[in-house]
């Protein structure tokens, strides 16, 4: 069953790249899942079932340079993970570097995935977009609302 992730969770990542995932999210993720480079400088976490659907849809992309480069970026960072006994995941150094993760991290639920953010980067994104939130909603949903 595909989960509907939501919420914001403030967590710490240790010097070994271990990050505790809140119990509620662990239950929804299942025992085995995928972590990869996300968009906008964060990491994406997908349930296995969702990941399979994404890969199947990517198989239909045309064999053009943009699609190949996107696939390289997205798939080369993908890691199959599970939880340790303390409910932590171990994030690889290349992914930590990509997302600029340091001690303070934010995990957010975004529908079919979780995102892991550097706390400062997340707060800046919120600040930059809070004034435009209503305009974004109008542009994205105006036809559906009418």
- Whole-number Å distance between alpha carbons of 16 and 64: 38
Tell me whether residue 144 is in a domain.
Answer: no
CATH code of the domain containing 67: 3.40.1550.20
The string of pLDDT tens digits covering residues 75-120 is 999 999 999 999 999 999 999 999 999 999 999 999 999 999 999 9
Residue 114 and residue 45 in contact, taking contact as beta carbons nearer than 8 Å: yes
Tell me whether residue 54 is in a domain.
Answer: yes
Tell me whether residue 81 is in a domain.
Answer: yes
Write out the residue range of the structural domain in which residue 29 sits: 5-118
Residue 101 and residue 116 in contact, taking contact as beta carbons nearer than 8 Å: yes
Determine the pLDDT at residue 145: 53
Tell me whether residue 72 is in a domain.
Answer: yes
Query: Judging by beta carbons within 10 Å of its beta carbon (0-12, 13-18, 19+), is residue 23 exposed, middle or buried?
Result: exposed
Entry pTM: 0.89
The string of pLDDT tens digits covering residues 44-62 is 999 999 999 999 988 888 8
Tell me whether residue 69 is in a domain.
Answer: yes
The string of pLDDT tens digits covering residues 6-23 is 999 999 999 999 999 999
- Whole-number Å distance between alpha carbons of 43 and 79: 11
Determine the pLDDT at residue 139: 76
Structural domain total, the chain: 1
């Amino acid at each position: 069953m595909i989960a509907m992730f939501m919420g914001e969770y403030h967590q710490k990542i240790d010097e070994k790249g271990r990050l505790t995932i809140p119990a509620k999210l662990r239950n929804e993720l299942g025992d085995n899942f995928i972590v990869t480079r996300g968009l906008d400088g964060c990491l994406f976490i997908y349930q296995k079932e969702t990941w399979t659907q994404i890969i199947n849809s990517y198989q239909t992309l045309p064999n053009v340079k943009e699609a190949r480069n996107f696939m390289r970026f997205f798939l080369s960072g993908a890691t199959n993970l599970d939880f340790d006994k303390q409910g932590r995941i171990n994030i690889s150094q290349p992914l930590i570097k990509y997302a600029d993760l340091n001690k303070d991290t934010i995990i957010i639920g975004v529908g079919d995935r979780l995102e892991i953010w550097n706390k400062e980067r997340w707060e800046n994104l919120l600040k930059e977009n809070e004034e435009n939130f209503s305009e974004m909603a109008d542009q994205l949903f105006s036809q559906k609302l009418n």
